[in-house]
Amino acid sequence: MIVREAIQEYAARTGRLTEEERLHMLKLFDRMIARIPSRPQEEAEAEIAEIRAARRSGGRRTRLE
């Protein structure tokens, strides 16, 4: 009977965060959101296009040391 209750208790908690875990995740989320640059969408798309073009052409032309 005790094992069955323990399994039910475990199943009920599966996928749930503790309050400490939840607060930690929210702090991380807030920190990541603050790092998102505020710039025009066109500028971001141009940067992505530049990176993709560099990858297609073989990347860097010089070695990094």
Using one digit for the tens of pLDDT, what is the confidence trace for 10-53?
777 777 888 899 899 999 999 998 888 888 999 999 999 999 99
Q: What is the pLDDT of residue 60?
A: 64
Q: What is the pLDDT of residue 64?
A: 66
Residue 59 pLDDT exceeds 80: no
Report the C-alpha gap between 4 and 11 in whole angstroms.
11
* Angle formed at CA 34 by CA 19 and CA 45, multiple of 5 degrees: 130
Please tell me the pTM assigned to this model. 0.45
- 49 or 62: which carries more pLDDT confidence? 49
Specify whether the CB–CB gap between 17 and 25 falls below 8 A. yes
Report the C-alpha gap between 48 and 41 in whole angstroms.
11
The one-letter amino acid at 1: M
DSSP per-residue string spanning 17-38: PPHHHHHHHHHHHHHHHHHS--
